Amino acid sequence: MGGDSGPAAMIAGAASARRRDPALCFMFHGDEARIGAELKRHDNLRDNIEVVHSAEAIAASEKPTQAIRRARTTSMGVAINAVKEGRADAALSGGNTGALMAMSKLALRTMPGIDRPALAALLPTLGDTDLVMLDLGANTECDAQNLVQFAVMGSAYARTVIGVGQPRVKLLNIGTEELKGTDELKEAAALLREADYLPMRFDGFTEGDQLSRGEVDVVVTDGFSGNIALKTAEGTARFVTDLLRRAFKSSLRSKAGFALSQPALNLLKVHLDPNNHNGAVFLGLNGLVVKSHGGANPKGVANAIRVAASMVTSDIIRKIGDDLDNFRAHAFAAESAK
């Protein structure tokens, strides 16, 4: 029921996703009448679906503390509970991010070895693959252990969703030199350098202006810095596209230039379209929860569903657990040897 378009975009996105993967099954939570009206528009959603009626929904402006109190009676809360009870493999919502995070943490709890879950998403780059970045707002303050855990989770996510066997991992910092940054960043870097037995390659620090270069697969940071970096990147993309639109409308010669450069501009539009990178994930929970952008269109929702399905089929929770067990075993052995 969340998102700018409510069930219309969600159900159209599900129909699009099923055309690409007919094996997908869906459980729709929310107002049964509104959901039913949308389902009639999509013939390929006649079978292998379930509609779970919920008269209540979480408002976009609702505080997480308020939302938690209604976890058992709202569409969002009931959907997450379906994952907890094993009736669904993953939950997807386009609604209130804070409420979704709070309800997910309360219902699913964090995995063993994870102190705090993190919000991860894909960002476009000039390279052959997208960039995984986390945390994007779930934790405003993080210590070194949190950052190491984020690196392990982000690496597993990169191997699963973008298909990189040995992801290149970097910590977001104010410089690439080893002497720069907070004590937490320096300690996390030291721990990751020693963890060469993990299926990742730690490459030190990176700065914000290098995120789109395609020279790194996973960027790790605290939620405060990560959210600012994400919003800055989104704002810059809108600035560039708006500036180009204004420039091409400034004169007849510019309009002629626009016609000639249309193919290149279409490529730029596809690359910067957030619907092509939709689907942020709460990593570190005992269950899969995916956050769709509130303004996502059906194409964006379908992409978010693809992200969720790929994590289910690749058993990402087990992969994260195995890597964490490996890290803890080596850390314990190193501590015992002292």
Give one DSSP letter per residue of 159-199, joined into a string: HHHT--SS-EEEEE-S-SSTT-S-HHHHHHHHHHHH-TTSS
Query: DSSP 3-state assignment of 96?
Result: coil
pLDDT tens string 33-81: 999 999 999 999 989 999 999 999 999 888 988 889 998 899 999 999 9
Note whether 323 and 300 are within 8 A (CB): no
CATH code of domain 122-276+313-338: 3.40.718.10
User: In whole angstroms, what is the distance from residue 93 CA to residue 96 CA?
Assistant: 8
* Blockwise average pLDDT, block size 10, the chain, 338 residues: 88 95 95 94 93 92 89 93 96 92 93 90 84 89 93 92 90 90 93 90 92 91 90 80 75 67 59 72 94 89 93 91 85 73
**CA-CA distance, 276 to 302, in Å (whole number)?**
9
In angstroms, rounded to a whole number, what is the distance separating the alpha carbons of residues 106 and 91?
14
DSSP 133: E
Helices (H), the chain: 7-20, 32-39, 64-69, 75-84, 97-108, 144-161, 183-194, 223-248, 252-260, 262-272, 298-313, 316-336
Q: CA 309, 27, 79 angle in degrees (round to 5)?
A: 90
pLDDT for 323: 87
**What residue spans define the domains of the chain?**
122-276+313-338
Which residues make beta-bridge pairs with 49?
A: 26
Supply the pTM of this predicted model.
0.85
Per DSSP, the three-state class of 132 is strand
